[in-house]
């Protein structure tokens, strides 16, 4: 397998096509336009590939819902305000158990905000920004290689659990270029009985998006809840970096984790024993694995490119067993490893 140099947005598109995505619908918005552009150029070269530039973000999410119901592997992408518009459709896909991949290349907000990288959509992604009792599997890559790997894995997880999967990256990751190796995708495993292919000689199939009977609705929600419990048990992923001898641990994901690694290298060269805990699945969040660390580590610093959203999950995980500090830069400002190292050093020395 050869390495190729590509930008993050193009990597997601290429990984999706190699994973078997055959229907893409999207609407332009910065800083993910290169992904839509890539799909427009390359889906036509794939047998059965369909690209649609929809009239709106709302149209795009409902187009992929329909194509997913027909049995295709589907994807849509957008950036923060556009994902907000897709939320009702994402809720409907979860309710109807329709697999699909949704890419959010985050920008500064709230509102229209700006087009700089941010991590302000954590709540929206992990809490299910739409209505009702549902969950979306959320994958948080921290490198271009992970953009490729997790995009492919996202399609497999979506099929396995018949559930929407979100790739949560940001404007920096979408624009950066790194060498990447595209791994061989796994063969698709998805039962034909879930695909609406016409009645044929059998009974007609239906997908119910409206359940009026309250008892039936309750049972459907409990069915979904049982599925989410299985996902939480089996699909929690994380990385530990220089944890073994750490006296303080940073918790960060995505671009923030890249910056954190640079800061940790600087601090370690000055004798400070700092490590990193990086959630790769933001939902399900690696709660138990983080809690286990509190038995030997009492100093944690949460670092996000927001005013503090993952911070809530860290607090829930640690449950008061450790001291938790926070550092954030919201609004699209990207801190440097040097800046972060200075912040960590102040907390580390204070608690030494």
CB atoms within 10 A of CB 272: 18
pLDDT at 201: 66
| Cβ contacts of 128 within 8 Å, gap of 6 or more | 90, 91, 94, 134, 135, 136
Prior bond of 110 cis (ω within 30°): yes
pLDDT by residue, tens only, the chain of 352 residues: 689 999 999 999 999 999 999 999 999 999 999 999 999 999 999 999 999 999 999 999 999 999 999 999 999 999 999 999 999 999 999 999 999 999 999 999 999 999 999 999 999 999 988 999 999 999 999 999 999 999 999 999 999 999 999 999 999 999 999 999 999 999 999 999 999 987 766 777 788 889 999 999 999 999 999 999 999 999 999 999 999 999 999 999 999 999 999 999 999 999 999 999 999 999 999 999 999 999 999 999 999 999 999 999 999 999 888 999 999 999 888 999 999 999 999 998 765 5
Those residues with Cβ within 8 angstroms of residue 320's Cβ, 6 or more apart along the chain or in another chain: none
Q: Where in the chain is the domain with CATH 3.40.50.970?
A: 4-234
Q: Is the CATH number of domain 4-234 3.40.50.970? A: yes
Instruction: Identify the pLDDT of residue 350.
Output: 60
Which tokens belong to 49? 């590939």
Q: Count of CB atoms within 10 A of residue 297's CB?
A: 21
Tokens of 307: 């005013």
Coil/strand/helix, residue 184 = coil
The predicted pLDDT at position 326 comes to: 97
Question: 238-350: which CATH number, 3.20.20.140, 3.10.105.10, 3.40.50.300, 3.40.50.920?
Answer: 3.40.50.920
Distance of CA 2 to the CA centre of its chain: 26
Rounded Cα distance, 148 and 144, in Å: 7
φ/ψ region of 130 (left if φ > 0, alpha if ψ in -120 to 50, else beta) reads beta
Q: In the chain, where does the domain assigned CATH 3.40.50.920 lie?
A: 238-350
**Which tokens hold the place of 305?**
């490119």
Sign, CA torsion 193/194/197/200: positive
Give the global pTM.
0.96
With CA atoms as reference, report the closest residue to 93 among 122, 123, 63, 121.
Answer: 63
Token representation of residue 215: 């008892």
* Token pair belonging to 101: 């991949």
3-state secondary structure (DSSP) of residue 187: coil
Helices vs strands, H then E, count in the chain: 12, 14
């Amino acid at each position: 397998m050869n390495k190729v140099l590509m930008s993050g947005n193009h990597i997601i598109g290429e990984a999706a096509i190699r994973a078997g995505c055959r229907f893409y619908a999207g609407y332009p918005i910065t800083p993910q336009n290169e992904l839509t552009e890539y799909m427009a150029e390359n889906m036509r070269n794939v047998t059965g590939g369909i690209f649609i530039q929809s009239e709106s973000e709302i149209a795009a999410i409902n187009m992929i819902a329909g194509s997913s119901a027909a049995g295709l592997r589907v994807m849509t992408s957008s950036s923060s305000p556009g994902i907000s518009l897709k939320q009702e459709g994402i809720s409907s896909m979860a309710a109807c158990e329709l697999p699909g991949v949704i890419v959010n290349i985050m920008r500064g907000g709230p509102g229209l905000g700006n087009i700089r990288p941010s991590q302000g959509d954590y709540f929206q992604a992990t809490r299910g920004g739409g209505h009702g009792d549902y969950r979306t599997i959320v994958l948080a890559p921290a490198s271009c290689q992970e953009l490729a790997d997790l995009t492919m894995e996202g399609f497999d997880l979506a099929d396995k659990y018949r559930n929407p999967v979100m790739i949560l990256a940001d404007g920096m990751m979408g624009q950066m270029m790194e060498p990447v190796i595209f791994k061989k995708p796994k063969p698709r495993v998805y039962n034909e009985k879930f695909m609406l292919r016409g009645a044929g000689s059998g009974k007609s199939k239906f997908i119910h998006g409206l359940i009026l009977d309250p008892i039936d609705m309750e049972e459907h929600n409990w069915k979904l809840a049982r599925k989410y419990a299985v996902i939480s048990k089996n699909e929690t992923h994380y990385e530990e970096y220089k944890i073994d001898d750490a006296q303080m641990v940073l918790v960060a994901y995505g671009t923030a984790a890249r910056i954190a690694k640079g800061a940790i290298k600087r601090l370690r060269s000055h004798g400070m024993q700092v490590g990193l805990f990086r959630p790769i699945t933001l939902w399900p969040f690696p709660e138990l694995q983080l809690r286990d660390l509190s038995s030997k580590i009492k100093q944690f610093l949460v670092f996000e490119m927001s005013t503090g959203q993952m911070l809530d999950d860290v607090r829930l995980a640690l449950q008061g067993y450790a001291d938790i500090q926070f550092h954030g830069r919201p609004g699209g400002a990207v801190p440097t490893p040097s800046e972060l190292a200075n912040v960590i050093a102040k907390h580390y020395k204070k608690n030494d």
